[in-house]
Amino acid sequence: MKQATPIPKPHAHQPPPGHNTPEGAFLALRQWLKHFALYLGMVTIAFATGIYFLWQLPAIQDVQQFLRNTEEVPTAKPAYRLAANPATATKPVEAAKPEPVPAPAPITVEPDNNPAAPATDAVQVTDSTAPAADTSPATDTTAPAADTAPAVGAAAGTPSLEPAPAPAPAPVPEPQQTVDQLLADARQQMDNRRLTAPANANALSSYRRVLELQPNNPVALDGIQRIAAYYRGAAEQSLRRGQTDESLGYIRRGLSATPDDSTLIELRKAAQQAKQRAREEQRAQMEELQRQQIEQQQRQEQTRRATQETRQAPSWWQQPPQYENSGGFNQR
């Protein structure tokens, strides 16, 4: 008999190791590290891209230029300071040469009558860049010390601040220019019928200001006369129409321009008299009206009384018979 070929048993699928086992924990950690590395790479690429585009903005470039300028300023200051000292900048540095030392002269102490000498000595001490002083007599050293004073002033490097010139005062308008402007304003105000009103913006006030500057200005005098003539004509017309109040108003404005105008004064008297007559006529009319009302009331009262008496009198048929005493009976 043939033996049956043994069939291999399929291997059962083994489940992955759990997290509780060491192998499962290691696999999970390795998987997490892969994901974390991928996440960091993506974040780095996005951050670098954002920084690149942000760096291309004009505002960032201006900031770079500003930072570059601020860094260059400190390095430029020493050069400016060195250049500000013409005494040290123009003098080339020379090597010290040995010179023969002369024999010392006898020193004589004399009183110093020059008060500027201590200041000169102090200047020589503060100027560290000046060459060494010679051991010559005192009479020879005073001249170089005086020459070094401008160099020390220049070495300070501080520019001299001169006071700013005062602003030039505004040009004062000439009286003639002011007069011309006032006359132009007055003409415009006359055209707009602003003769005496509003206050400080009328033709009369403009002409008076002209007369304050030029008392005999013919244009201003003629303008005031024209204002008075206008109000004089308006007052006469109002007086003819019987409008005394309006006429007095025009007269008052005309007298404000020319207080001594005899025509306006006569018109004022006539207007006042006309107003007085109008008041008297109005009073007489009121009295006449009252008298008529009283007479009418009296007539009405008489009529009422007559009517009342008529109503009280009895009719003929209502009257009692009247008998005549005949002295006896009439028999026929």
Q: Map out the domains of the chain with their CATH numbers.
A: 175-279 (1.25.40)
DSSP-assigned states of every residue in 20-87: TSHHHHHHHHHHHHHHHHHHHHHHHHHHHHHHHHHHTSHHHHHHHHHHHHHHHHHHHHHHHHHHT-HH
pLDDT at 186: 93
Dmax (CA) for the chain in angstroms is 215
DSSP-assigned states of every residue in 125-136: HH-TTSPPPP--
Spell out, as residue ranges, where the chain has pLDDT lower than 70.
1-20, 60-61, 63-64, 66, 70-174, 313-332
Q: Which of 252, 250, 247 minimizes the C-alpha distance to 271? A: 247
pLDDT at 16: 56
pLDDT at 238: 92
- What is the CB-side half-sphere exposure of residue 59 using CA atoms within 13 A? 2
Task: Quote the pTM value.
Answer: 0.39
- Cβ–Cβ under 8 Å, residues 204 and 195: yes
pLDDT at 58: 74
- Cβ–Cβ under 8 Å, residues 235 and 250: yes
Give the 3-state secondary structure of residue 101.
coil
DSSP-assigned states of every residue in 170-236: PPPPPHHHHHHHHHHHHHHHHHTT-SS-STTSSHHHHHHHHHHH-TT-HHHHHHHHHHHHHHHHHHH
Tell me the C-alpha distance between 232 and 254, whole Å. 7
Residue 37: alpha-carbon gap to chain centroid: 67
